[in-house]
Chains A and B, each alone.
Chain A
């Protein structure tokens, strides 16, 4: 199984500031035949289902604000919120889909 880890467990950022979440996979999720990273990011607000933000490590889902961006390759990935808004308070999960599906433990983002 591919194990996903995230850091930090939680972070508090001032409104308008940058938030950065890291995700690491226990083995590479880069598929060499198509040069794609099988890595997605989800946002989950309290009492709601998760919402897909980013897939293929850096492709934003339709309708997702461009302040959300994903980067990285292989085993190390980052989700960046460039200018934190109040509505971004949530738990963020990374997920690999290279070999079945496993999620990271989540990172809670709050307002400082």
Chain B
């Protein structure tokens, strides 16, 4: 059974870079059938797509975050990662990773999420 697990620091200082990793187990990140995405949810608020990556390395970013976001994939470790630079308190959120089918690109499998707080 496919599982996704987010990991990374729970506290990041303002102006620094948020770095998270999603480890995929029970399946290969190199499958041509899937994209891999990051979505976040500020406390008590709705969902915001951050960006997605294909195993080949092709990336797609939310235009509102594009200047600060980098998503990469490490097929040898079956992981993909998120970097968000110049963070502010507005970036405080639960960050989810998810698998997206390449046929319909919806988020069919989600990780449990990890809470990141931006504070000094």
Contact = CB atoms under 8 A, between A and B. Distances in A.
Interface residues of B, number: 18
Contact of B48 (A51, A56, A103): A103
A77 interface: no
A40 B62 CA distance: 18
Contacts of A95: 47, 106
B107 interface: yes
Contact of B46 (A1, A55, A104): A104
Given A49-B96, A49-B110, A49-B111, A97 B46 contact: no
B96 A101 contact: no
A102 interface: yes
Interface in B60-117: 60, 62-63, 96, 98, 104-108, 110-113
Given A49-B111, A49-B112, A100 B49 contact: yes
Interface in A30-89: 40, 42, 48-52, 55-56, 61
A61 B49 contact: no
A9 B111 CA distance: 26
A9 to B, nearest CB: 11
B106 A52 contact: yes
Contacts of B47: 42, 50, 93, 95, 103, 106
Given A1-B63, A49-B96, A100-B62, A93 B46 contact: yes
A103 B63 CA distance: 15
A28 to B, nearest CB: 18
B46 A103 contact: yes
Return the 7 tightest CB-CB contacts between A and B, nearest first.
A49-B110, A101-B49, A103-B47, A55-B106, A40-B106, A105-B46, A52-B108
6 contacts: A1-B63, A40-B106, A42-B47, A42-B107, A56-B104, A103-B48
